[in-house]
Structure 1
């Protein structure tokens, strides 16, 4: 299963209004004398259409983000590899130049070599830490995108939850 399908399935599967409340349940929320009123059926249909439209919009946005994100990620990865290679070459050149100029092309002792190796290891650890922080930031960015689409995951309507909507309808039906 592709990532796009997994996201679509996770966020939009069982998200239709009829999955949350059937027409019969919806009509049952109103007083018995009003249940045959055409306006109640029309209201349910409007809510159903609105919900379906929201789901289609979310699906389109997911498809768009998935298609764009893969291209963007490939470009970012290529740029990161290029810049990392350039930085690594520059830093390696700097380290070699430092060693060569400080030693005037003489042989190093074992302790000097060990200290230089420790410096190089520290540099690699620091660089890995920076890359790890960058990866975490990208992951947080992806999670925020998924969270922004979670209204369907938690079966919320744009104006509030289904329960809030139904409570509002029940109150308005009592005054009718």
Structure 2
């Protein structure tokens, strides 16, 4: 089935083109003076004009086919350019950073960010970072409280103030346990 473009061009350029469609042999003969209308050369000239007209129409058909194939190539190029523009990265965003973000998020986006997608993803990333920061701050407060408790216990040890042991353990064992706890807290990196 011919494309819409080929049909339109054919209807416009080829529809009224055959000689017999707009001039019959009788009409052609009437153009000549009466004395020459019966001359067999008139019919020969008409047939020659028909042949030339058909030859011209064949050239037009080939040109239409060439134009249609050229237009297909142009449509492919346009589609490729459109995909490129649709997938274009937003100015100022580092493609490497975007790739890392996609790998880390685990979403595995198939297309690069566009203006429409980058803002929502950035908003989501900001919320995620804020939640991570809040969790780290809470963990830091917990670790700081543990360190302050250990430092307070060591301060009591330094000044000789010992709370009586509720468990009945030896004070030396409690001091060693407290020191080991402090050492563990100090050796544990923040955020782990």
User: What TM-score bracket applies, with the shorter chain setting the length?
Assistant: 0.3 to 0.5
Normalised TM-score (structure 2) = 0.43
Query: Which of these two proteins has the greater Rg computed from alpha carbons?
Result: 2
Quick one: higher RCO (CA 8 Å, sep 6+), 1 or 2?
Answer: 1
Normalised TM-score (structure 1) = 0.46
